[in-house]
Every structure is written in C-alpha cells, then in structure tokens.
Structure 1
C-alpha cells in the first residue's frame, strides 16, 4: 500500500487512538516503528513482510528478516525478540521451501542477538514472509524522523535500485550473478549503521524501504518541518539499474509513489525519466537515511565506509517549508 492510501486509511486513527504519556512515538509522524515507555525502558515495536526477492529460500528469509529488523535499528534500538509472519501458499511450492525461509530468518535473528518466540501462519495465494519485532532503546537517545535540523548533512548507508533490479531478475532480464551485489547488501543488517549513528549524535533517521528515497525523505521533512536538498550526482546506485530501466523494467508501486512525492519535489537538476525512477524506486532492506550535524558527518561517513557500508553524503537540510529539492 502506498503512502497516500495509507494516510487516507490511518488518518482518522491519529485522533481516535488514545496516545497516553507512555507513547513516545505513535502514528502522528509516520515513523518506522512505535515507541512505548515502560519502567525506564523504551520498547520499540514494528511489523513488516515482503514477497520473494530471489530463488533461494534461505536468502529470502534472511533478507525479509533484515528488512523487518531495520525499523528497530532506524529508531536507534536493538531487537529483543520476534514473531514469524508467514503467508504461505497451500500448493505449488517445492518441499523444503518454507523451512528454508524460516532458517534464513533465524540466522538473521541470531546475528542480531534477538530471540524467536513463535509466529503466525495463514494460507495465502501469494507467498509473503516477515517478522513482528520488539526491541529496546535508551529513552533519551531514540532516533526518529522528526529531528532533522537546518545545517544537517544527509547520509545514506546503502545504494538505491533494488526494486527495479528484483523485478528485472523476476522477468528474466538479468541473471542471479547481476543481482548478487544488491542481494548481499539487502542481507546486511542496519545494526552497525544504527550504532554509529547514535555515536555521532545523529539528529534524525529513517530507513529507505517501500516508499523509496523521495517518499521516506518526504516523511522526514514533514515530521521535522524543514526543507531537504538532494545532490543527485551523489546518490549511490546499484550497477544495472539504469540498464533495466532502459529495458522498460519498473515496479507496480513506482507510479503511485511518484504521484505522492512529486508535488513537494522541485527538480532543479533537469532529471530524465530514468533518474526520476531512482528517486521513487521502492527498496527492500534498504539503508538508513541519517540527518547529522555537519561537524559530525565526515567522521560518521568515514566510519560507515570503514565498516563496509557503501555510504554516501547525498544532501543537506535547509530552513524552509516541508519539501524537497534536487540539484545536480
């Protein structure tokens, strides 16, 4: 479901649901996860699931788990435990597939030092899998999408383009070898990036997933009441993305994502259609978008790259109304 439909559906709930003093982060800012305060601890809760992104059950399970865990890391938290969310077809799936998915997810949870407590399974014509996750965070050091300040630098910790690449693979326009670099990044947990962001006093954070870069950045500027300027030439992009776009590959949600974000996006770079596709391409297990004090950004970027992240400084936060602008 796209952001416009989600806002229409959830809008009434922001007033109907009692917030209470213990709810630190609720529905109001469309953040990555909710945060509930209890006995001096901030509990961070989220749920997510996705459709298959490759032909290997274990790797799909691992990526789906990483995608779900990412919301916890985007809030500056550490996962405590998770529940499997299994939407599995009743027929037409090779033996061992479901077990492989669960084993891949369990491996990601083990890496994250999080426990698996169970889950829920339903029959579904289309295979989907993910996790409901609860984590913990320091109540005084929670990362939200609402703290970006004028003068901050914007850092992105993974390249863009997974939506188009996954669909290119599914359509047989690219092979598994070409998808492999993106698949490895999708398997990467955002744990280290989150820890480094906290170390460098990051002001705001979100993860780039199903709404694409422009959609999630829009949520950040609206929650923070600032303007964001993106340097398009600085955006990291996976090899093969533009080739797939030239071959007509897109995603089912890109059109709606673009329609939602474009009214608040000024194109001062003269982008062509393929470049605009990158801004709105929905990501699976994407990187963290961080708004960082300019005095800290170089140090954070260096440590991210030293830790193996394909990170880049992609723009800055400006004083102004909630909108985005793109320059060369």
Structure 2
C-alpha cells in the first residue's frame, strides 16, 4: 500500500473538528450530580468551557494541559499529522502559554491502512512540534475502526499572563486571526468538487500555528482569548459571552472569510457539523432568522485549527493591530469585526 495513493478521508465518517460532539449534547455529557473535589490549585477547569485546564505550580507559573484529536480532514497522511498537531497545540497558545511537551494519540484501522501511512501522520506531527519548539515525546496507540490522531499537550504560562474565554469586558473589540471557511472547503474536497487551484487554501490555514497567542498573552489590554474550532465562530463567541456575562454585536461583512467559499456554498458544500452547531445554539443568536441563512452558515462553519478570537480593550486597538501586523497576520484579517457590551435582550450574539 503506497502512502501517497491513500485518501484518508474515505476511511472516516467525520472530518477534523467537525467530528466534535455538538454543544447541546456536550452539555448533557458534562452534567453530573456528583460533587467534584475542589482543588485550590486548579485555576481553570471545564466550568467555563475554556481551551485547556490550568494548574497553579506555586512558583508564579501555571501548567496548561490539553488534548485534542479527530478523524482525517485531508487525504494526505503527512498533512493530517500536521493539521491535527497544530490544532492541539493551539489550545496552549489560546491561553497565552508556551507549549513545552506533546504526547501522541493514535487510533488506526490496521486491517485497512498500513503502518507506513500512520508513520507519515507521525512525521507530519513531528514537523509541527519542531516548528512549535517542542518534542513529540511518546504516546499511545490502539486498533480503531477509523483513523484518529491528535496530541496531548502541556504548556507553561506566567499566571499574570494567563488568558481565558470568560474574562472579557464590556467595550472590548473583537478580532479573529484566521479567516473562516475551512469547513466549507474541506467538505467540497470530500464531495469531489474542490477546484485544484483551491486545494492548498484550507491545509495551509489549518497547519499554521497560532504562535502569536504566546505574545498576545503578555498584553494586559487583551482581556480574553480563545481559538475557533468545531463549534464555529458563533459557538466560541457565545461561550465567551456566557462566561463573561456579556453580549456581542458583530458586523458580518467585516468578519475575515476565505473569499472562494461563496462558490462552494452555491453548490451546497456545507458540513454536517454546521447544522449540528446551529441546532445547539441558534436560539442564542440574533440573526433575523431561526433557520440557517447564508451568513449564519459561514459563521457556524466548523473550523479545524482555526484562528484566535481575541477581545481587546477599545483604547488599544491600534497597538494591537500593529502587533498582529508585525507577527505576520494577513492584512485582510487585521480588522475589528465586532464588540462586546452589557447584556440586553435574549441573544448572546447579534449579527448586523
């Protein structure tokens, strides 16, 4: 079996972060009548739906611990390893931290796919870990009906630089460091309608590390941060609003979007995860429609290894934009697309 000829997406029923269990179902899973042990050193658990757990180490620093894995979102094994690894490491960057160590998680259908293909996945992972300056130090593997790969990642952060999704303030302006639409493009790929000239767009975006998060963590005027993944921009922004007890207003035309997604929307290239997302939180969104529209289809599009969603103090937006620019964020993404305000009405997010 030649690894170069294998199309991994044919071996899985889902793709990337679109495999995520919907927010509504996750609420049921996480609910428990059991009283949890209160650990005074646990700074961040799962009560705010943040990107990672954070443990106070007692020396002014904290340990960030996270895990993320999914089924193939691209056909190429090497690219799958790169994307899954960038996605997992992103959780550390989203907390303002520095990744220090990674452990691999591999599920492999050994009766369908050769070990040489899995080797390519791990090579891709090692390449991204090297780019992040960390070691892929080991891992665990199982025989699994579908290919699955991801990482468990640890990071370190100075506690005063720790960023969460629940600490935004009214008046903050909203930014997104990567354009939306990779779910639409990867669905087009799976349907066989993606044009060859568009084939590299999504993999390039998904394999790009959110390294800038470590820099943004050190900025006092960055009040909250998270990464946008399987729940789409609307889902992760809703979590930020719920955790911070605020409401967001976003201007659809200013949200960074991959330009070519429009032609694939015309061909109904919509991930199944988009509908699951909307069914979970559509009632919290003020969009003028209770069903998915073209706008909300884009805003609820499941992102794999998406960008950082950042809430910035209003008086510091010019400084913040210059930081983005100096760190290589494309000019088309350096735009304020919304703001946060005190809660009013029934919606968490209003789209204008």
TM-score by length of 1: 0.94
User: Which stretches in structure 1 are left out of the alignment for 5+ residues?
Assistant: none
- Residue 165 (structure 2) pairs with residue 142 (structure 1): no
Q: Counterpart in 2 of 1:23?
A: 42
Please point out which of 156, 159, 169 is paired with 2:176. Answer: 156
* Greater mean alpha carbon deviation, residues 187-196 or residues 81-90: 187-196
Deviation at 1:115, TM superposition (A): 1.9
Deviation at 1:91, TM superposition (A): 2.5
* Greater mean alpha carbon deviation, residues 272-281 or residues 218-227: 272-281
- Residue 339 (structure 2) pairs with residue 320 (structure 1): no
* Greater mean alpha carbon deviation, residues 235-244 or residues 23-32: 235-244
Tell me which stretches of 4 or more aligned residues in structure 1 moved more than 3 Å: 268-272
- For residues 320 and 229 of structure 1, the distance between their equivalents in structure 2, rounded to whole angstroms, comes to 11
Q: Counterpart in 2 of 1:238?
A: 258
Residue correspondence of structure 1 range 1-328 to structure 2 within 5 A: 1-12=21-32, 16-40=35-59, 41-94=61-114, 96-199=116-219, 201-267=221-287, 273-310=293-330, 311=333, 312-321=335-344, 323-327=348-352
- Alpha-carbon deviations, 1:219-242, whole Å to 9, x = none? 000000001111100011113212
Q: Give the count of matched residue pairs.
A: 326
Contact 1:60 1:104 in 2 (8 A): yes
Task: State the secondary structure of the residue aligned to 1:137.
Answer: strand
RMSD: 1.9
User: Which stretches in structure 2 are left out of the alignment for 5+ residues?
Assistant: 1-20
Deviation at 1:39, TM superposition (A): 2.8
Deviation at 1:200, TM superposition (A): 5.6
* Greater mean alpha carbon deviation, residues 189-198 or residues 24-33: 189-198
Contact 2:233 2:299 in 1 (8 A): yes
Task: State the secondary structure of the residue aligned to 2:305.
Answer: coil
- Alpha-carbon deviations, 1:66-109, whole Å to 9, x = none? 00000111001111111100011112325621111101111111
The 1:176/1:133 distance shift into structure 2, 3 A limit, reads farther
Deviation at 1:308, TM superposition (A): 2.3
Task: State the secondary structure of the residue aligned to 2:123.
Answer: helix
Contact 1:164 1:245 in 2 (8 A): yes
Q: Counterpart in 1 of 2:4?
A: none
